[in-house]
């Protein structure tokens, strides 16, 4: 089963740092905060059959391969994804992710989180599509470490894949706070 580190490996952190004019370490920490938040939000939205069906259709649309650079990312699409995942809670989620990061002594602000989310969101959906559907013309080599698409689409489907990603301690802590506090779910 793939984990958040496999997903992190496909995120062009260096490109994000350059685009945002921040240190690469700060960009990496921001991405590490954002990933469990996005995956947790997707899991909250896919908590029932209808939500899983909607997410499955979204993944079909994003089954085009994982972007290798920020230049390949459609941030307008990313903004739509973020709004769809978090809805009216988007600002609260950004604040919660930034507060969580700053409580650990990092220089991550809400503004950095706001800028990182729409860059990372389309990459996350493309990566999930690659894992769940077998991928389009994916440029990611890390997908070979994940279960084959047929395995992840059996039994619990996309819910199992998202749950597996959230199984790390960091994923459980961040997503659990979001799901329990803002998005109406509970810790998995």
* Token couple for 133: 């559907």
Q: How many CB atoms lie within 10 A of CB 153?
A: 18
Phi-psi bin for 155: left (phi > 0), alpha (psi -120 to 50), beta? left
Q: What is the pTM of this model?
A: 0.77
Helices and strands counted in the chain (H then E): 10, 0
Confidence of residue 116 (pLDDT cuts 50, 70, 90): very high
pLDDT at 156 over 60: no
pLDDT for 176 beyond 70: no
Decide if pLDDT at 9 tops 90.
yes
Cα 122 to Cα 53: distance, rounded to the nearest angstrom: 18
Residue 171 has pLDDT above 60, yes or no: no
Specify the 3-state DSSP secondary structure of 156: coil
Q: Is 25 helix (H, G, I), strand (E, B) or coil?
A: helix
When mean pLDDT is compared across 52-56, 104-108, 114-118, the lowest value belongs to 104-108
Q: Find the mean pLDDT for residues 144-171.
A: 53
Query: In 10 A of CB 57, how many CB atoms?
Result: 9
Residue 120, Cβ neighbours under 10 Å: how many? Answer: 29
Enumerate the domain spans of the chain: 4-181
């Amino acid at each position: 089963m793939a984990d958040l580190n496999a997903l992190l490996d496909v995120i062009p952190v260096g490109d994000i740092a350059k685009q945002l004019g921040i240190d690469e370490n700060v960009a990496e920490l921001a991405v590490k905060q954002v990933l469990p938040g996005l995956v947790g939000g997707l899991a909250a939205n896919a908590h029932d059959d209808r939500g899983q069906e909607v997410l499955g259709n979204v993944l079909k649309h994003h089954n085009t391969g994982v972007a290798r650079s920020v230049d390949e990312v459609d941030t307008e699409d990313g903004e739509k994804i973020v709004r769809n995942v978090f809805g009216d809670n988007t600002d609260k989620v950004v604040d919660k992710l930034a507060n969580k990061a700053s409580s650990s002594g990092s220089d991550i602000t809400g503004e950095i989180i706001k800028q990182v989310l729409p860059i990372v969101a389309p990459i996350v959906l493309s990566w999930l599509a690659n894992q769940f559907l077998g991928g389009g013309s994916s440029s990611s080599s890390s997908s070979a470490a994940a279960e084959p698409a047929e395995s992840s689409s059996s039994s619990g489907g996309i819910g199992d894949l998202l749950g597996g990603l959230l199984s790390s301690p960091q994923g459980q802590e961040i997503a659990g706070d979001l799901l329990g506090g803002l998005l109406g779910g509970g810790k998995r």
